[in-house]
Structure 1
Amino acid sequence: MSLYFNMWFFPLWWICEVLMLHLKYSALPDYYKFILVTVVVMMTVIEAIRLYLGYAGNLQEKVPELAGFWLLSILLQLPLILFLLFNESILILPLERGVHILLGLFILTQAVSGFAALRAMVRHTESQFLLRQFN
């Protein structure tokens, strides 16, 4: 369910992030301008791939896709959202803080539940493989 709600929330997050970046762009130092634009572009691409892998891994019960979803969540999206949430030098606006907290909670929830689902799927696949060995 978290993936479903995240799929609908992500366009709202993107619109809010681009709007807030536009509002504060002139007040930021040049290096933060570059960093924030890069982070927003990276998060957009990674989130689209991550949501696709999550759906494919979950609905079709494919271990590689779910593992990719989990790794993208832990290694890329979580650090990027934490950077946007806790770096006060980027002039965090109240709307930004709210949408970042929601996206961070989605990512954290999906990382925990994704790990549990991945572990269960691997155990199930392993048991099927062992049963086929004896047939």
Structure 2
Amino acid sequence: MENIYRLILLFIFLSSCNSTCAHKNIEVSELLSIAAEKKSIDYCKLLNSALSGNEDSIKEISLLEFDDAVGYDHGSVIVDLILEIGEEKYLRSIFMISKEEKYLINSYLDVGLIYGNNPKVDKKDLKKYLS
């Protein structure tokens, strides 16, 4: 009987751990994964495609809209994505977006630079490229 309880606890533990993903040096929080799933977005697949250099995926992931704390996590992912693929590739991918879309990305960059935990970023000002 005790073994059954251990198996149940193990199952609960393992099932609670598989809602996050990580690609290369970018970790996607559980909160962000859940919010994307609620919007029927396969965030990890989209991120993986963006990391491989797919410009449509880079633009698509950059223009996703998330509120509150999820937006902070998404901003950190965007900053990390830019660091992985390079500023030039990123800017080429989002070149033809509207002013409102630039504002959205700018907001994510602000929080991603401030609240992200990437030691490679020392408050870089990527916003100047989005003006």
Q: Normalising to structure 1: TM-score of the pair?
A: 0.36
Q: Normalising to structure 2: TM-score of the pair?
A: 0.36
Higher helix fraction (1 or 2): 1
Whichever of the two has the greater Rg, that structure is 1
Q: Name the structure, 1 or 2, with higher relative contact order (CA <8 Å, separation 6+).
A: 1
